[in-house]
Amino acid sequence: MTDSSAKPTILCISTYEKGQAFLREAALLGCRVILLTVADLLEASWPRESLARLITMPKGLLPQQVLNTVSYLAREEQFAAIVALDEFDLEVAALLREHMRLPGMGESKTRFFRDKLAMRVRARDAGVAVPEFTPVFAYSALRRFMEEVPGPWLLKPRMNAAAIGIRRIESAEQLFGVLGELGDLQSHYVLERFVPGEIFHVEGITWKGRLQFSAPFQYGAPPMQTMHEGGVFSTRALARDSSDAMELREIHARVIAALGLESGVTHTEFIKSRADGRFYFLETAARVGGAYIAEVVEFATGVNPWVEWARLEAAALFGREYKAPEVREAYAGSVICLARQERPDTIAYDDAEIVMRLEKYHHAGLIVRSKDAGRVEALVREYSGRFLEEFCAVEPVPDRPTA
């Protein structure tokens, strides 16, 4: 039996290898950290010196089975908080909080940060611009939507992330053919107007309902295009005094307020329509952005979202106040792709602005930093073209998350 009076225990759940900085910081701040992950990741690079316990479970357990696992652990561990380090673990963490009556987002509020239909309805009702959409329930409503809203359209899984499972729909005939394939799963999708344009994201930190930090970035190729067609992923910090940056920060604040986030980190995406120049809300998640976005944010601002998330959780547990750190005035960007080579050699990339080289099997990646937003933009554009020629490999699109 553990001595729960000594340190508050945080149970962290992650079915993917990520969040090491969170685990380290939470331990440094005086929390007792337990990590529950899948057996396949037992030998992953977890910061074991920061963990009180590392516990594994079989891959693919149903939420009720995870609940049974954690309830069994609770016979000897007194959990003060439960944190899902990956988006695909948010729902089970919410289920556990509800079951164990722990603080944090429950199942209903979590839906606003997982369910594309729920977040669209709430944002639209708050006056935030979103692409026209309709749930996949009544076929008559779907036909009427497609008659009134010009195509093409996108059929999106309500609960997936990273553009997984999105299908472009060109006609009603195609839609109903796809729905026939989906069968009983079709109600778990949302249909929306396809808006051509450029994709942006804002990384945020919220404490007690007040947005404390927001940093706007612009993707290179849209993530959906990179996921479905292959290519190079890139993102870069926007010039802070640009009209796009200022507008994104304002819209982002409205979205987070509308969705009712109390405290936490967020990764929120928007599209700037090529047709009318307006920003439209696409989706948000109560997590740190993937694809090394946290590192880009840190190089650009000095703020590491993983570290700040841990500080938020610790502040709540110890009854302290939280304040986001001062932002460093710099800019950063990343260029990453799946590589044909096992260990791609980026030695020919020797610009002084390079601050990080990705060391990952069959991946090439660089992060650059400069005081000049234009210099970062130029390097990201140049490197994206070179990566496409020198390294880029393409693999089939997954129908479910793989990392």
Backbone phi, then psi, for 335, in 5-degree steps?
-135, 120
User: Measured between alpha carbons, how far is 292 from 368 in angstroms, rounded to an integer?
Assistant: 12
At 67, which CATH number?
A: 3.40.50.20
- Within a domain: 397: no
Query: For residue 50, how far is the Cα from the chain centroid?
Result: 24
State whether 146 and 203 are in the same domain.
no
State whether 370 and 234 are in the same domain.
yes
- Within a domain: 18: yes
At 214, which CATH number?
A: 3.30.470.20
b or e along 125-154 (b: 16 or more beta carbons within 10 Å of the residue's beta carbon)? eeebebbbbbbbeeeeebeebbeebeeebb
- Within a domain: 333: yes
- Within a domain: 119: no
350 half-sphere exposure, CB direction, 13 A CA radius:
2
Q: Tell me which residue of 252, 153, 143 sits closest to 195, measured CA to CA.
A: 153
Max Cα distance, the chain (Å)? 63
State whether 145 and 205 are in the same domain.
no
- Within a domain: 348: yes
pLDDT of residue 352: 98
State whether 248 and 287 are in the same domain.
yes
Range of the domain at 151: 132-193
pLDDT of residue 262: 96
pLDDT of residue 403: 42
Q: How many domains does the chain have?
A: 3
User: What six digits make up the tokens of 327?
Assistant: 């932002």
- Within a domain: 34: yes
Count the residues in the chain: 403
Q: How many other CB atoms sit within 10 Å of the CB of residue 108?
A: 11
How does pLDDT run along the chain (403 residues), one tens digit per residue?
445 458 999 999 999 999 999 999 999 999 999 999 999 999 999 999 999 999 999 999 999 999 999 999 999 999 999 999 999 999 999 999 999 999 999 999 999 999 999 999 999 999 999 999 999 999 999 999 999 999 999 999 999 765 678 999 999 999 999 999 999 999 999 999 999 999 999 999 999 999 999 999 999 987 766 665 678 999 999 999 999 999 999 999 999 999 999 999 999 999 999 999 999 999 999 999 999 999 999 999 999 999 999 999 999 999 999 999 999 989 999 999 999 999 999 999 999 999 999 999 999 999 999 999 999 999 999 999 999 999 999 876 555 554 4
State whether 29 and 82 are in the same domain.
yes
328 half-sphere exposure, CB direction, 13 A CA radius:
16
At 142, which CATH number?
A: 3.30.1490.20
DSSP 381-401: HHHHHHHHHHTB---PPPSS-
State whether 152 and 276 are in the same domain.
no
pLDDT of residue 250: 98
State whether 169 and 227 are in the same domain.
no
Q: Which of 193, 210, 236 corresponds to the end of one domain?
A: 193
State whether 224 and 189 are in the same domain.
no
**Angle CA 114–116–122, to nearest 5:** 95
User: What six digits make up the tokens of 120?
Assistant: 């669209």
Helix count and strand count (H, E) for the chain? 12, 16
Q: Tell me which residue of 402, 314, 302, 317 sits closest to 355, measured CA to CA.
A: 302
Q: Which of 147, 168, 193 corresponds to the end of one domain?
A: 193
Backbone phi, then psi, for 179, in 5-degree steps?
-60, -35
State whether 81 and 157 are in the same domain.
no
State whether 170 and 214 are in the same domain.
no
pLDDT of residue 402: 44
- Within a domain: 122: no
* Secondary structure (3-state) at 275: coil
pLDDT of residue 171: 98
47 prior amide bond cis, ω within 30:
no
DSSP 218-254: EESS-HHHHHHH---EEEEEPPTTSHHHHHHHHHHHH
pLDDT of residue 399: 55
State whether 178 and 103 are in the same domain.
no
Q: Which of 63, 80, 111 corresponds to the end of one domain?
A: 111
State whether 364 and 229 are in the same domain.
yes
- Within a domain: 4: no
